[in-house]
Chains A and B, each alone.
Chain A
Amino acid sequence: MGIQYLFIFAQVHDEFRIPELFSVAELHGFEITFPPPADVSRPFMILVLENELHARLLAQRCILVKYACEFYGRGKTYMELHEQTRSNHARWSKYVQDTPFKFFISAYNHTIPQRRQKDIVESFDYMDFQGKIDMHNPEVTLACFEEYRDKRGTTRHKHEGDGDFEEVFFGRLVEEGTARPLIKTFDVKKRTYYGNTSMEAEISLLMANQTLASPGKLIYDPFIGTGSMAYTTAYFGALVFGSDIDGRQMRGKEKQPGIIRAAAQYGVAHRIVDLCTFDVTRNPWRCGELFDAIITDPPYGVRAGAKRLGRKARPDKQQRAKPAQPFISKQLDDQPYIPPTMPYELSSLVGDLVLLARYLLKPRGRLVFFLPTVTDEYEELDIQTMLCDGMEVVANSLQNFGSWGRRLITIRKITSERYPPPMFTSASNISEDGSAHTPAHKYFREKYFQGFRKSESEEGQGVTRSTSG
């Protein structure tokens, strides 16, 4: 039988909350249960945990947790709340005698006026705490949160609707969310080195948590770009490898690579094991089962298109005659040879990425990546069709931008069977069972630039191509 804890979340990324809790619990090897009804859209959640340490561990690592409290009571009215709190007397009676304490009164989507805050505190006088009130160093902080409806977009007077809350929650503060301030630490604008496609700090941190990053783990980003996720995973103790087809992104303009400079800013440069320039579809990895996690934001072609080695097929032009002699590079080292590249369509890239992860991950290893998708066309099946044997979806959280969104996908390798390296030919293959499901993220770039107009994306030239070829 566990103990009930009240968790208060930041009012953002609601679909990311439970996956993050489960990831951090798995990292530390404990269980979480949610007594029904669990409504993930609300920033208040009751969790059942084995002990207080688990609540602290969650609050210390989860980016979306603001407070963790031992749960005493809740209600649509204070009367209901007090009744529950009284019946949970056993949970708080040990603090009654002479523990220095204070009250913390707060509200969601609202500010409670000082005067009523005082009334609220006084309404708890039946608890009869005998210890002294200590506002600076209390041993116990009793926390009370009123939850109001979202009033964004309405004009109102200060304190208007005060007391007209949806529900009120009460408990003993166990830990303030200490991971949340990391969002400021990793602020992209304050970073020594970044590019126009760098991932924002909060999402990079959420992604790092999905990988279960911790000391002794080895994590790989095959499209590392400017390294946004390398810093956060390394911060949590993991060693990070990065590769990119375009070395300029990793280097920047100075002698010391930009990624190393930014990593040094966060004190984690020694955890960036190496950065290599190569096309992940032509990769030099000697063997598989190397990494504990693969974390990446694949380029999906809006600001920076995905590229792979090769030449673009140009059916409108006659194929050039092949030279009789194979081309031999004679460049000096200061004039590096730049091989031709061709676009890498998103759904083939994602299919290849899952196969690559199955090859390169250790058993139980995780693949964490963003998949952009068209909101109206997305189906659950889109995710299922990109899976292969031995890989299962752990979490799928949407960040909604309106007509499109991106999904943070966490996939786990559930097999200890060894697989050969992928052939990177999924572009020319249909899915294994021969079905021809076209996922909403296919030709995402083209759809994006057409403004996601459905008729055109279905009939437009070069957008929907035959999937049987």
Chain B
Amino acid sequence: MVRLITHNLLACHAKGCTSNNFPLQFKDVQVELREAEFNPDFLRGFIPRLEWGALVDAARQLGDTSLPAEPPEMLDVEFLQKLHHVLLEVHVEEGAMICPNCNHVYPISNGIPNMLLAEHEIG
């Protein structure tokens, strides 16, 4: 859990933290790989929602360099399989995600990220 698809959709949401609050930086992570179902249609439909650069960087930080710096024009099966692996099969089980702007630490425990804010961080 905390797959890279999720990481790509979460931004720091502390009070006043509205710029440079994405992507969160992984720290002290334990990674597991688990197989998931390959669904090319889902991937094709989801690419427009992704922040591609953030995904590539996060994958590299976790040791996966299979993705190109820009999404290719031709979405062939070989590429979609790499994207599938990065998005859905890499799980961060332990560690933390840290906001690059305000340094808020979102801990990850047993695969569940704690995105709750403290009292002084809500508007």
Contact = CB atoms under 8 A, between A and B. Distances in A.
B118 A337 contact: yes
A276 B34 CA distance: 19
A257 B112 contact: yes
A290 interface: yes
B42 A286 contact: no
Nearest to A274: B6
Contacts of B34: 270
Contacts of A286: 8-11, 22, 51
A250 interface: yes
A176 interface: no
Contacts, number: 110
A229 to B, nearest CB: 18
Interface residues of A, number: 43
B114 A336 contact: yes
B63 interface: no
Given A273-B88, A274-B1, A309-B122, A284 B13 contact: yes
A337 B13 CA distance: 17
B1 A275 contact: yes
B112 A278 contact: no
A418 to B, nearest CB: 13
A167 interface: no
Nearest to A278: B115
Contact of A278 (B3, B110, B116): B116
A261 to B, nearest CB: 11
B78 interface: no
A42 interface: no
A310 interface: yes
B122 A287 contact: no
A425 B31 CA distance: 39
A340 B117 CA distance: 10
A287 B118 CA distance: 22
Max count, chain B CB within 10 A of own CB: residue among A275, A282, A286? A286
A194 interface: no
B2 A270 contact: no
Contact of A239 (B8, B42, B113, B114): B42
A284 B10 contact: yes
A401 B11 CA distance: 42
A285 B119 CA distance: 19
B111 A276 contact: no
B86 to A, nearest CB: 14
Contacts of A284: 10-13, 115
Given A273-B5, A286-B10, A310-B122, A279 B116 contact: yes
Interface in A202-231: 215-218
Contacts of A461: none
A276 B119 contact: no
A282 B13 contact: yes
B20 to A, nearest CB: 13
Interface in B51-84: 51
A269 B41 CA distance: 20
A271 interface: yes
Contact of A216 (B1, B10, B11, B42): B42
A333 B107 contact: yes
A270 B41 contact: no
Interface string B71-108: 00000000000000000100000001000000000010
A366 to B, nearest CB: 17
Contacts of A333: 96, 107, 109
B29 interface: no
A320 interface: no
A14 interface: no
B78 to A, nearest CB: 20
A329 B118 contact: yes
Given A256-B110, A282-B122, A273 B41 contact: no
A339 B118 contact: yes
B36 interface: yes
Interface string A434-455: 0000000000000000000000
B112 A339 contact: no
Interface of A: 215-218, 239, 241, 243, 245, 247, 250-251, 255-257, 260, 270-271, 273-279, 282-287, 289-290, 309-311, 326-327, 329, 333, 336-337, 339-340
14 contacts: A215-B42, A218-B42, A239-B42, A274-B1, A276-B10, A276-B115, A282-B116, A284-B13, A285-B11, A286-B9, A287-B49, A333-B96, A339-B117, A339-B118
Given A270-B37, A276-B113, A284-B12, 4 more contacts: A215-B37, A255-B110, A286-B10, A309-B116
Interface of B: 1-3, 5-6, 8-13, 22, 34-37, 39, 41-42, 45-46, 49, 51, 88, 96, 107, 109-120, 122
Q: What are the 7 closest A-B residue pairs judged by CB atoms, nearest first?
A: A278-B115, A216-B42, A274-B6, A286-B11, A284-B13, A284-B10, A277-B114
